[in-house]
Chain A
Amino acid sequence: MTKFTSLLAATGLIATLGSVGTPAQAHHAFAAEFDANKPIELRGTITRLQWTNPHSWIHIAVTDEDGDVTNWAVEFGAPYSLLQKGLRRTDFELGTEVVVNGFLAKSGEPVLNASNVTLPDGRDFLTAAEDSPGAGN
C-alpha cells in the first residue's frame, strides 16, 4: 500500500483548503473540494468501481517514472448522466487502462474530479459532475 492510500485510509476524508477543526463533506460543490486551477491528466489501471449516486468513482493505479504506484480516486458525475451519454459501469473493466483529465483535490490527496475519460477502445466521454467546469450546468 502506498503512502497515499494509507493516508487516505487513515484520514478517510477529503479535507478542504485552510480548514480548522473537523473537515467536512461538501459534495456537489466542486469548488469546495477541487481546484479549478490545477488540471492534470492521469493514465492508470482500473482497480475498483463505485457506481453510486450522485457520483460514480473509479479507482486507478497510476505508475510514475520511478515505478512507484499511487492509487487515485477519480470522481465522475452521476451514473445516469453518464448512461445518457452511453457510458455504463460495465464499460470499465477491472485491470484495463484508462486516461482521465480533471482537477486535483484541494487537499493534495490523490483524488481527481474528472472532466473526461478515454477508454481502451478509444472512446472518449465527458464525465464532469454537475457544477464542475465544463459541465454546462
Chain B
Amino acid sequence: MTTLHSHGAISTPSRFGVLAIGLALLITTGAKADASDIPRTAEGRPDFSGIWQTLSAADSGLEPHGARKDAPPAPGIVTGGLIPYQDWALEKRNQNFAQRASADPALQCFTPGTPRGIYYPEPFQILQRPTDLTLLFQHSYRARTIHTNGSVHPEGGIGFWFGDSRASWEGDTLVVDVVDFNDQTWLDSAGNFHGNNLHVVERWSFIDENTLQYEATLEDPDVYTRPWDISVILHRHREPGFQLIEHTCYTLEYDDYYPYPSQESQ
C-alpha cells in the first residue's frame, strides 16, 4: 500500500508503521461503553445532555507539531498524521499559519463552527430532545442544532457557520451529516481550513457515562485530495454547579461605553 502525501512524497508504510497507526487508533478511540452504562432518554436513545470539553490539544493544531511560542507540543488528531491538502491549499494553510496571531477567526470571536467547536478549549453544552440536540458553545455563545427528527438538508446555497446537521441513529451511535458551510471558519488555531463545499460526517458515542468518543470524516473536493478522519475524546464537566459563562468576546472592544461611559454618571 502506498500513500500519496500532500507534499508530493510517496512512501510505503512499514509493518511497524501500520502497527503504530493501529495502536494510536486504539488509544484515541477507546472501547465502547456497555449498553447499560449509558444515560438514556425516555425513548431509549443515548442521552448526550451535559457539559463537555476535550482534554486534547487538537485546537492548537490538528496535525502533530512541536513546541511553538503559542502552543505546547501535541501529537495531533488526524488519522495518518497529516491533512491531505491539494498543493494550492497547502500553500494557503502555510500562509494562514504564518498570520495566525491576527487571522484566526476565533480570535475575533467568530464562532468556531464545525468541527472546531467540538474540540475548542472551552466547554459546550448539549441539550437533547427527541427532535434534536442543541449544542451551545461557550465561545461566542452561539447554538448549533443537530436535527434528529427525520428531516433532511434544505435545498442549499445558504452557507452556515456550523453547517446544516441532520442525524440518525446506528444503534447507540449518533451519525450526523453536515453540509452547506461558509468558508469563514478555521479547523484549528494553526491555520488549517476548509472551503464552502466541506462535508463532515460525525459519529458520537459513549465510552462510559462521563466520556464521549467523537469521530469525524471531512471531505472537500476543492481543498483536499481525499476524505480524512479525526478523533477526540470529550469529558463531562462534573464540578458542582458548573455552567457555561456567556462569552461574547467581540464585545470587549466596546464594553466600556455601555450602558454609558463611567464618567457620565452623577
Is B158 in contact with chain A by the CB < 8 A criterion?
Answer: yes
Minimum Cβ distance to chain B for residue A48 (Å):
13
Is A27 in contact with chain B by the CB < 8 A criterion?
Answer: no
Q: Of the listed stretches A37-45, A83-91, A105-113, name the one at the interface; the rest are far from the partner chain.
A: A83-91
What 0/1 readout, one digit per residue, does chain B (182-196) give for beta carbons within 8 Å of chain A? 100000000000000
Minimum Cβ distance to chain B for residue A12 (Å):
14
Minimum Cβ distance to chain B for residue A2 (Å):
26
- Interface residues of B, count at CB 8 A: 5
Bound form: Cα–Cα A79–B156 in Å: 13
**A90 closest partner in B (C-beta):** B157
- When distances are taken between beta carbons in the complex, the residues of chain B under 8 Å from A51 are 159, 182
Minimum Cβ distance to chain B for residue A120 (Å):
16
A-B pairs, 3 with minimum CB distance:
A90-B157, A88-B157, A89-B159
CB<8 Å pairs between A and B, sample of 13:
A51-B159, A51-B182, A79-B158, A79-B159, A83-B158, A88-B157, A88-B158, A89-B157, A89-B158, A89-B159, A90-B156, A90-B157, A91-B157
Q: Which residues of A contact B (CB under 8 A)?
A: 51, 79, 83, 88-91
Extra inter-chain contacts (6) besides given A51-B182, A88-B158, CB under 8 Å: A79-B158, A88-B157, A89-B158, A89-B159, A90-B156, A90-B157
